[in-house]
Amino acid sequence: MASSVSEQQGRHPEGALVREARTLWAFAVREYRIWQSYRVNQLMWLVNIFVTTLLFFLMGLMVKGKAAALIGGAYGTNYMSFIVVAIALSTFLYTNLSDPYTRIARSYYNGTMDLLLLSPMSIFTPLFGFMTKSILDDYPRLLIVGAFGVFLFGAVFRFQHILAALGFTALALAAAFGIGMISASSFYLLNIKRGTEPVRFIVQQLLATLLAGAYYPVTVLPKPLQWIACLIPHTYVFDALRRLMDPGARLTVPVLPIQQVLPWSPLVVDAVALSAMTLILLPLGFVLYGQGIEKARRNGTLTRWQ
Amino acid sequence: MAVIDVLGIGKRYPGRHGTLALEGVDLTLGEGAVLGLLGPNGAGKTTLIKILSGLLVPDSGGGTVLGYDLLRQASRIRAEVSLVAPTADVGIDNNLTVRQNLVFWAPVYGLHGAEARQRIDMLLARLDLEKKAGDWPMHISAGQRQRLALARSLLAENTLVFLDEPTNKLDADGVRSVRDMIRDLNMNHGVTVVLTTHVMEEAEELCSEIMFLERGQIRRHAQTDEVLRSLGIVRPIRLVLGLADRAVFTPPEPTALAAAEDVSWDVGAAPNEVSVTVRSSDVLATTPALLAWVFGQGHRLLGMASAPVTLDDAFATLSAAGEAKP
Amino acid sequence: MTVGAPLIRLTGISKTYPAAELSLRGTKLVTQGPALWAKQLARAARLTAVSGEPVRALTDVTLAVYPGEVFGLIGPNGSGKTTLVKIVAGLLRPSTGTGEVAGVDLAQAAIIRRRVSYVSTTGWMGLEWALTAEENVRFFGLLCGMSPALARQRTLAALGDVGLVADGRKAVSELSNGMRQRVILARALLLRTPIVLLDEPTVGLDPVHRRQMLELVGETLPKRGQTVIIVDHQADAIEGIARRAAIMKDGRLVGVGTPAELLESLSGLKVVELISRGGAQPETLPPRPVRAVEQVLRPGPLGLTQWHLTVEERPDALEAALGWVLSGGGEILQVAEHAPHLADLLAAQAPDEQEAG
């Protein structure tokens, strides 16, 4: 066994970054093992995706023929394409936004936060480590939602702008993760241990559900609410991906009020807005989360176990 | 260099009652020491361990642990110490088997491939968990879960280990294997250990020095044997002797027996037997001298009993002193 | 005290836990009755795995505990103590066997559960973290149908019993682990049920509170007319307070009686405890008077070694034991002889069992 500090450090010649990467990999392997063993769950999750897409397919039947008028022309004429983009993206965004808080809360209640802090990794690594579960569990849903949409329910997509679409998605995910970390830090900073965490509740449950235009274009909302919708990343990424992926969508017709005000093309507005949100929210998330951990270290509330 | 060197550590938990957990705690601990933190429930033992391991920020005081500043380099400290909490088993992932739990943590501590496998095998064997390696944590006993938590913390080959009530839930065999493990870490690998326990016999067996805490303050901190000697408790040593020469018995002089206060004797059950009582303020010092005298005189030792001062007595005396103070 | 009918009577109790049918994440699935077809289906779909054989936790346990007794259960981890206590508490159904607890047949577990208090120290048994210790105890009384005045009065008494009066106004989250444990105990003392079942109640208590707790269990509860079954793996805790005790091993009772009766199997033997300094390991095997040796090295600058020798009761046994230890050199710092304790009995039983198996 190592008997001196220098020997100790000699154990890790690969350097800090490589070690963090190995740690993340260990998280991924662990999450894969767990995911793999929840077979009933995986079955349920297929059924769940099927039912969700079926539900919107049936609603799509109701508005058949009127879809073009309803979804406003800018996003094409196919309601299934319109809705599949939202369902697929929502899964991603929901995970990035909600998971950090959930996982932090769990590690508080089961006492792992002490352990994670007592190991040679940065305080952020566990958060990223927990997210590997999402990559396994939630991200594949995108493909399944898409497959159900295209092969069963008549959604149609075009793929010539796929790289741009991926870029927008990545930005939105980063911004959502920033909000997720802010939400997670409230666990320690605001000492919200039970009940509903406000950041997550407002952004996810209220704004994203009602205003982001997942199931209908934001134009059906009163003008003031449309402006509020412009405050969250969901709105922009739905808009951008529909323009890029739906055949018949038009890149130049503005939909969001902010797109009507600014002199740029709608996609540029989306890109600028998402970039700005990422640049603000992600660092803010890191800072607040770090402060949250420090506060917990002062108050002795890292875990409920003493 | 001292492994731990802190001064004036104080901590008050926020909350309705603003519980005072620690006040003015100084501690210097050398390499290779085993420090036993003793004290009644709620004395601040766990709080001190959490502060020293960098998990908790003290309100006042500071110093170094492993040469790192307690306040500014807490993350370095956390990365290089091990801590086993009494509730550590709650952190075990029930979705992974016993071995998989350890496999997950190995790369976190920088262990890979064959090296990781070897160390995991070694820990499972040493803590009697080999047969349970493939089992789900829910299906092993509380004691085995506790040992799994210990194994996980010892994956990292850290030179400073904090153990908060390490043998709490274990039966006799479990206690033995964990104490052997601690002793081995300390004696054969030079690991410095800080442990808390409510079992005084355990502290006496394992600890080279003792810190007695009460209501967040140090009541006593010294080498274990010094703690015991300094209590000034006088205990009897009783012997039954078979006389070498049944006619003559001369009792030993108290001054010839280290730390003996007085000697009394009586005729025994059989004609050639006497029972001798030596009252001593340090049984461990008096006994060798007394035995030397017995064998030197050619007497036969038929029976002997002594109750040396133990940490149980220390605990009672020190907490009584604490009660007396306002 | 043993006059009259037993309060707890168990006859031929066995308990076998079924082979755990597990979903692969470790959740136990229902495997009986109408769910059987689902099980087959799940197995066919490789959604579950059977882990091992059924586990036999208790075998043919017959036992009587009399009113007002403090009855101890001792044995190593996994010997079936907790299973037995849970059966008495009406929390587990035995596989075979019959019994009565406080005049109620084991089959009527719901009634039994109202006549026993059960304390386990694994987990926090539903303590509400945000409430004070006093509230946790008092609300439990109210939940059990006590009048507010009685609940208040009993709560105060119970907190006094466990030495938590001063800290009773603190939230459970502010208490230390040992204090939380005492809150759980106070809660169990509230109802003054005829039977109190304590599973390892002294784990994690400091010596002073441990002594207090044992006093409470050994004296106060019997005075109140309560009958106690106490489980502990530390046999000495039980030896001091239990009027009678049972030793368990691999799910069987291997001995029932007063501590003195139980120790009879060790008659003719005594225990010599030594502390030595310096010296090497004695090379030779122990001489005949020294039956068994346990040696513990103490770290630290003193280099002390602790010896636990089981020797035959003979005039030359002590000298032989000392001579044997000294044959490795060094000096002896302490000598204490005593009659064997229950703990020695547990240690003595382990090798026998292995030979038989």
Contact at CB, B206 and C298, closer than 8 angstroms = yes
Instruction: Count up the domains in chain B and report the number.
Output: 2
Pairing of strands B235-242, B300-306: antiparallel
For residues B175 and B276, membership in a common domain is answered with no
Least confident interval from A76-85, A153-162, A257-266, C120-129: C120-129
For residues B12 and B132, membership in a common domain is answered with yes
| Residue A271 belongs to some domain of the structure | yes
* Residue C130 C-alpha, separation from nearest chain B C-alpha, in angstroms: 11
With 0-12 / 13-18 / 19 or more C-beta atoms within 10 angstroms meaning exposed / middle / buried, residue B272 is: middle
pLDDT confidence of residue C351: 42
pLDDT confidence of residue C290: 79
pLDDT confidence of residue C125: 63
Is a pLDDT exceeding 70 seen at residue A256?
Answer: yes
Share of chain A above pLDDT 90, in %: 23
For residues B260 and B221, membership in a common domain is answered with no
Mean pLDDT taken over chain B? 86
Is a pLDDT exceeding 70 seen at residue B17?
Answer: no
For residues B134 and B153, membership in a common domain is answered with yes
For residues B219 and B247, membership in a common domain is answered with no
Chain A and chain C share a number of CB contacts under 8 A equal to: 21
For residues B48 and B140, membership in a common domain is answered with yes
| Closest C-alpha among C1, C57, C75, C62 to residue C244 | C1
For residues B207 and B269, membership in a common domain is answered with no
| Residue B243 belongs to some domain of the structure | yes
* Residue B165 C-alpha, separation from nearest chain A C-alpha, in angstroms: 12
| Residue B322 belongs to some domain of the structure | no
* Residue C203 C-alpha, separation from nearest chain B C-alpha, in angstroms: 6
* Residue C25 C-alpha, separation from nearest chain A C-alpha, in angstroms: 5
| Residue A62 belongs to some domain of the structure | yes
| Residue B123 belongs to some domain of the structure | yes
Helix (H, G, I), strand (E, B) or coil at A131: helix
Cα-Cα-Cα-Cα dihedral sign, residues B27, B33, B38, B41: positive
Average of pLDDT values for A2-9? 39
Q: Which amino acid is at C156?
A: L
pLDDT confidence of residue A103: 85
**pLDDT, tens digit, 9 for 90 and up, residues B204-239:** 888 989 999 998 999 999 988 888 877 778 888 998
Mutation pick from B213, B304, B317 vs chain C, by most beta carbons of C within 10 Å, is: B304
C25 within 8 A of B93, measured Cβ to Cβ: no
Contact at CB, C47 and A40, closer than 8 angstroms = yes
Cα-Cα-Cα-Cα dihedral sign, residues C49, C80, B142, C299: negative
Q: Confidence class of residue A10 from pLDDT cuts 50, 70 and 90?
A: very low
Q: Which of B169, B224, B287 comes nearest C333 by C-beta?
A: B287
* Residue B90 C-alpha, separation from nearest chain A C-alpha, in angstroms: 5
Low-confidence ranges of chain C (pLDDT < 70): 1-3, 18-53, 121-126, 298-302, 347-357
| Residue A68 belongs to some domain of the structure | yes
B40 within 8 A of C206, measured Cβ to Cβ: yes
Contact at CB, C23 and A34, closer than 8 angstroms = no
Query: Chain C partners of A36 at a C-beta cutoff of 8 Å?
Result: 24
Q: Confidence class of residue A12 from pLDDT cuts 50, 70 and 90?
A: very low
| Residue B320 belongs to some domain of the structure | no
Q: What is the CATH number of the domain that holds B257?
A: 3.30.70
Q: Confidence class of residue B88 from pLDDT cuts 50, 70 and 90?
A: low
| Residue A228 belongs to some domain of the structure | yes
For residues B153 and B12, membership in a common domain is answered with yes
Helix (H, G, I), strand (E, B) or coil at C185: helix
Rg (CA), chain A: 22
CA B112 – CA B125 distance, rounded (Å):
19
B281 within 8 A of B232, measured Cβ to Cβ: yes
Query: Chain A partners of C25 at a C-beta cutoff of 8 Å?
Result: 34, 37-38
CA A47 – CA A115 distance, rounded (Å):
37
B305-308: long-range contacts (C-beta < 8 A, 24 or more apart)? B305/B237, B305/B238, B305/C335, B305/C336, B305/C337, B305/C338, B306/B235, B306/B236, B306/B237, B306/B238, B306/C334, B306/C335, B306/C336, B307/B235, B307/B236, B307/B283, B307/C336, B308/B228, B308/B235, B308/B283, B308/B284, B308/C275, B308/C334
For residues B110 and B208, membership in a common domain is answered with yes
Contact at CB, C207 and B42, closer than 8 angstroms = no
Assembly ipTM: 0.71
The token duo for C324 is: 């044997």
Instruction: Count up the domains in chain A and report the number.
Output: 1
**pLDDT, tens digit, 9 for 90 and up, residues B259-288:** 888 888 888 777 788 899 999 888 888 898
Q: Which of B135, B139, B301 comes nearest C319 by C-beta?
A: B301
pLDDT confidence of residue B325: 41
Helix (H, G, I), strand (E, B) or coil at A62: helix
What residues make up the domain containing A67?
Answer: 13-299
Contact at CB, C24 and A39, closer than 8 angstroms = yes
Query: Chain C partners of A38 at a C-beta cutoff of 8 Å?
Result: 23-25
| Residue A3 belongs to some domain of the structure | no
The residue among B259 and B123 whose pLDDT is bigger is: B123
For residues B109 and B79, membership in a common domain is answered with yes
What residues make up the domain containing B263?
Answer: 234-308
CA C75 – CA C191 distance, rounded (Å):
29
Give the number of other Cβ atoms within 10 Å of residue B57's Cβ. Answer: 18
Q: Which of A36, A38, A306 comes nearest C177 by C-beta?
A: A306
The residue among B65 and C112 whose pLDDT is bigger is: B65
Average of pLDDT values for B234-258? 83
Share of chain B above pLDDT 90, in %: 30
CA A294 – CA A287 distance, rounded (Å):
11
For residues B211 and B253, membership in a common domain is answered with no
Contact at CB, A39 and C129, closer than 8 angstroms = no
For residues B283 and B171, membership in a common domain is answered with no
**pLDDT, tens digit, 9 for 90 and up, residues B134-190:** 888 877 777 788 889 889 888 888 999 999 988 877 777 778 888 888 888 888 888
Q: What is the pTM of this model?
A: 0.77
| Closest C-alpha among C291, C340, B79 to residue A115 | B79
For tokens 């040679």, name the residue: A120
Query: Chain B partners of A294 at a C-beta cutoff of 8 Å?
Result: 57
Is a pLDDT exceeding 60 seen at residue B66?
Answer: yes
| Residue A173 belongs to some domain of the structure | yes
Is a pLDDT exceeding 60 seen at residue B324?
Answer: no
